Amino acid sequence: VSLSWQKREISNFDYLMYLNTLAGRSYNDCMQYPVFPWVLADYHSQTLNLTNPHTFRDLSKPMGAQTAERKHKFIQRYNEVEKNLSVQCHYCTHYSSAIIVASYLVRMEPFTQTFCSLQGGSFDVADRMFHSVKNAWDSASRDNMSDVRELIPEFFYLPEFLTNANHFELGCMQDGTVLGDVQLPPWADGDPHQFIHLHRQALESDFVSAHLHRWIDLIFGYKQHGSAAVEAINTYHPYFYGDKMDLNNIKDPLIKSTILGFISNFGQIPKQV
């Protein structure tokens, strides 16, 4: 399959789905849902230029290192080992978890119910809900130190998740904006189908095809852990490495259940492929 992909006989989308499946991730489990990369960095232009490298996200770096300032802060965190962390890592949150998946898909059942049950029975504060593609990118790539989320496959084929067709009352933001459909970048002309069409084009573009292997190294490959991960600013809290933790050797039931709860709520690193 890798050879077919290198020869571009299979699409980037299909290859990413293949890797996710190989790494034990599936649509049947929100805790180990397929993970896809942010591929664009342009959510403000009127038209999308897929020949300009600046249109794209840096696929060689995790979401915590997309800007120099952000990268520096996470390196600082790693070096300082904050008192309350007691473990050395760049990130204490994960790029894929049940709550991230449910928050993206919150406008569609059964994910609406999943999201509410994970939130303790109701929707989150409106300002924290997924309401704008640009805001989600700004948060995960630049603004929010506890947000390093990547995307899910639906961003590349399912326009329905971007509309509030069920008319859920998702609340009202502090600036008075009532939450409804997801706000799209200007180049999508307010049309979810156009967004998906162009976003899929971006995923299959020459630029992404030439650089996607670097992101694959971070998520599924050798930059997942060890010294290569440290160098790539790509280390996560030890609990996220579920398969690396030998839970059978942990005798204390409280510690064991804490770790299992942590993994189920906050996500886990895919199996290395």
Structural domain contains residue 219: yes
pLDDT grade for 239, boundaries at 50, 70 and 90: confident
At 101 the pLDDT is 96
* Domains: count for the chain: 1
| pLDDT at residue 97 tops 80 | yes
Both tokens assigned to 227: 């010294």
The per-residue pLDDT for range 125-136, each reduced to its tens digit, is: 888 999 999 999
Q: Give the model's confidence band at 144: pLDDT under 50 very low, under 70 low, under 90 confident, else very high.
A: very high
271, part of any domain = no
What is the Cα gyration radius of the chain? 19
Specify if 121 maps to a domain.
yes
Cα 114 from Cα 99, distance rounded (Å): 8
Residue 191 token pair: 């049309």
The string of DSSP codes covering 50-68 is TT-GGGB--TTS-GGGSSH
CATH code of the domain in which 19 resides:
1.10.1540.10
Q: What is the pLDDT of residues 150-203, one digit of tens each?
A: 999 999 999 999 999 999 999 999 999 999 999 999 999 999 999 999 999 999
Region of residue 245 (phi > 0: left; psi between -120 and 50: alpha; otherwise: beta): beta
Share of the chain above pLDDT 70, in %: 93
Q: Residue 177: which domain range?
A: 1-266
**Amino acid, res. 197:** H
Per the CB < 8 A criterion, the answer to whether 137 and 38 are in contact is: yes
Question: Is position 272 within any domain?
Answer: no
